[in-house]
Amino acid sequence: MWQALYEELGDRGFVVIAVAMDSREGDPLPWIEAARPTYPTLIDRDHRLAELYGIVNVPQAVWIDEAGRIVRPAEPAGAYEGFRKMNRATREMPEDVARLTAQAKTTYLDAIRDIERRIQPDHPAVPQHEFTV
């Protein structure tokens, strides 16, 4: 999801920075290597990012503009609690839950696309009330 968005919006200056907050050495590496991201990917073993930005669960995202201002605080990044209804043996979800999960991601990604369309080079920040989420 993030790689595709980065490829779509990267030429407009949009950057994804993924941060794994795993305490044990090597835990996130297989996931990072499997994803093969072309955007920066970091590992925060000390959870400094969580402290700085108020992240209490993952996945979460913080939107930061070109001037370093927080435009949207920590939020679930299009995640949905559907995994709680997943069959652990088959890793399948009920159809209605899978649909809600997909819609949550789509809505979130559309919000990112919307802000990227609105940003002007001479005015990088858009007030919170102008988002369409």
> Each residue of 39-82: pLDDT tens digit?
999 888 888 988 998 888 778 889 888 888 888 898 888 887 78
Predicted confidence at residue 96, as pLDDT, reads 92
User: Which of 69, 86, 76, 83 lies closest to 108, judged by CA?
Assistant: 76
Q: Which residue has the higher pLDDT, 57 or 97?
A: 97
Give the mean model confidence (pLDDT) for residues 97-125.
81
* Residue numbers of the domain that contains 35: 2-121
- 11-26 in b/e form (b: 16+ CB < 10 A) is eeebebebbbbbeeee
Q: Give the count of domains, the chain.
A: 1
Predicted confidence at residue 59, as pLDDT, reads 81
- Specify if 79 maps to a domain: yes
- Specify if 130 maps to a domain: no
Which residue(s) pair with 72 in the sheet?
A: 63
- Specify if 45 maps to a domain: yes
CA dist 87 and 58 (Å) reads 21
What is the chain's mean pLDDT, rounded?
83
- The CATH number covering residue 55 comes to 3.40.30
